[in-house]
Amino acid sequence: MIFQLGLTEFRVVEFVEGASCSLQVTDGPAKGKKYEVGKEGTGIGRDPENYFAVPEDPQMSSHHAKIFLFQGHFFVQDEGSTNK
For the chain, which domains are there?
2-78 (2.60.200)
Q: For the segment 13-64, what is each residue's pLDDT rounded down to a tens digit?
A: 998 888 999 999 999 999 999 999 999 999 999 999 998 899 999 999 999 9
Cα-based distances in Å from 33 to 1, 30, 36, 71, 78: 17, 6, 10, 27, 21
Residue 82: pLDDT band (50, 70, 90) is confident
